[in-house]
Structure 1
Amino acid sequence: MRADAKKNRDRLLAVAGAVITEQGAEASLRDIARRADMGLATLLRHFPTREALLDALLRTNFDELTARAGELEQSSSPEDALVSWLRDCVACAHEYRGVTALMTAALEDPESALHASCVTMRAAGTGLLARAQAAGAARTDIDGTDLFALVAALAWLGDQPSLAPRADHLLDVVASAILTGAGKGDAGGGPEGGAAVGPARS
């Protein structure tokens, strides 16, 4: 890529990040181009679709979450690693308002520009969940898809002005519900406080 083209691409990404944070994932591409002092055609040359633009914005964050899962696996207990990653993932999904719906749809659409990075991120969380389940620290009646759905739901709560003040508290509630009695005071998962039987699925 020529230096001027790279400069334009970087400028578009910086402006897009600010606009999407402000207006949400459905922000006008024309408005992004205008604020970057470029034409829409220039934006579309670099990012032919909205999903391609979002993928470029989010891929770094998703890669960091994948790497973070590996770090937590080495440095933290299974339950602490899972809850820490859950918090990081919710924060990432909440960074750009409204992006969770696109992420959820992308998981089911191999043609989506977001598909590969979303699948990789979900797999990282599934690995931490499976590790915690194997250690008896997390309930086993949920899988990686369930975990991703909880991330999306918690990020959505943070997007709602009337509910946002409760988002952190509800994340604590969800994290407590995922964990079993091993490593924390109260059990969760099975009918009598134990974990229900069933392996995690990606």
Structure 2
Amino acid sequence: MRADASKNYNHLLSVARTVISEHGADASLRDIARRADVGLATLYRHFPTRDALLEALLHATLGELTQKAGELETSSSPDEALISWCRDGVAFVRSYSGVVDLMAAAIADPDSALHASCTTMRSAGTRLLFRAQAEGIARTDMDGADLFALIAALGWLGDQPSFAPRVDHLFGIIASAILTNRSSIAAC
């Protein structure tokens, strides 16, 4: 990529991060281009679809969540690893209003630009869940899809003004529903 094209690309991502943080995942692409001081054609040249823009924007964070899961698998107790990763997952989905809907749709659509990143992230969480289940400290009647759904639900609840002040309390309730070891729950 040429230097000026790379500069435009990075600038568009920076502006998109701001606009999407302010207005959610359905933010106007025209507004992103306008605020980046580029034409809409330039935006589309770099990101031909909304999913492509969101994939570029979210790829790093989804990669960080995946990497963190790998680190937690070996460095923390299974219950602490699972809860820490879930807490980071909830914080991520809360950072971009509307991203939950896109991620849920992307997991079901192999043609989505977000599919690979979302399924990789969900698989990372699944490994943490399975590790806790193998140790007998997490309920065994749930899987990675259930864990992803609970994280998404908590993220959505956190976006609702009436629930936002209670999101930490609600996280504790969900954590206690996932973990079966009472001493682990106290650590939440």
Shorter-chain TM-score above 0.5: yes
1:106 and 2:127 aligned? no
Write the distance in 1 (CA, Å) between the matches of 2:8 and 2:157.
Answer: 34
Is the CA contact (8 Å cut-off) linking 1:69 and 1:125 kept in structure 2?
yes
Query: Which region of structure 1 is more displaced relative to structure 2, 30-39 or 158-167?
Result: 158-167
Letter matched to residue 58 of structure 1: L
Is the CA contact (8 Å cut-off) linking 1:98 and 1:159 kept in structure 2?
no
Is the CA contact (8 Å cut-off) linking 2:179 and 2:185 kept in structure 1?
no
Equivalent residue for 2:130?
A: 130
TM norm structure 2: 0.96
1:172 and 2:172 aligned? yes
Q: Which runs of 5+ in 1 are unaligned?
A: 187-202
Letter matched to residue 173 of structure 2: V
- The one-character-per-residue Cα deviations of 1:119-174 (angstroms, maximum 9, x if unpaired) are 00000000000000000010000000000000110000111111111111101110
Write the distance in 1 (CA, Å) between the matches of 2:109 and 2:90.
Answer: 22
Deviation at 1:183, TM superposition (A): 4.2
Query: Which region of structure 1 is more displaced relative to structure 2, 128-137 or 158-167?
Result: 158-167
Write the distance in 1 (CA, Å) between the matches of 2:131 and 2:185.
Answer: 20
Is the CA contact (8 Å cut-off) linking 1:125 and 1:147 kept in structure 2?
yes
Equivalent residue for 2:60?
A: 60
Bigger Rg, which one: 1
Write the distance in 2 (CA, Å) between the matches of 1:108 and 1:180.
Answer: 30
RMSD of aligned Cα (Å): 1.1
Equivalent residue for 1:198?
A: none
Is the CA contact (8 Å cut-off) linking 1:69 and 1:128 kept in structure 2?
yes
Equivalent residue for 1:191?
A: none
* Structure 1 residues 133 and 149, CA gap change in structure 2 (3 angstroms): same
Write the distance in 1 (CA, Å) between the matches of 2:185 and 2:144.
Answer: 24
Is the CA contact (8 Å cut-off) linking 1:106 and 1:114 kept in structure 2?
yes
Q: Which runs of 5+ in 2 are unaligned?
A: none
Letter matched to residue 184 of structure 1: S
Structure (1 or 2) with the greater helix fraction: 2
Write the distance in 2 (CA, Å) between the matches of 1:103 and 1:33.
Answer: 23
Write the distance in 1 (CA, Å) between the matches of 2:37 and 2:170.
Answer: 41
1:90 and 2:79 aligned? no
TM norm structure 1: 0.90
Write the distance in 2 (CA, Å) between the matches of 1:63 and 1:24.
Answer: 20
Write the distance in 1 (CA, Å) between the matches of 2:175 and 2:185.
Answer: 13
* Structure 1 residues 185 and 169, CA gap change in structure 2 (3 angstroms): closer
**Moved beyond 2 Å, runs of 4+:** 181-186
Is the CA contact (8 Å cut-off) linking 1:63 and 1:121 kept in structure 2?
yes
Write the distance in 1 (CA, Å) between the matches of 2:17 and 2:185.
Answer: 41
Write the distance in 2 (CA, Å) between the matches of 1:176 and 1:114.
Answer: 31
Letter matched to residue 151 of structure 1: I
Deviation at 1:93, TM superposition (A): 1.2
Look up the SS of the partner of 1:184 in the other structure: helix
Aligned residues: 186
Letter matched to residue 82 of structure 2: L
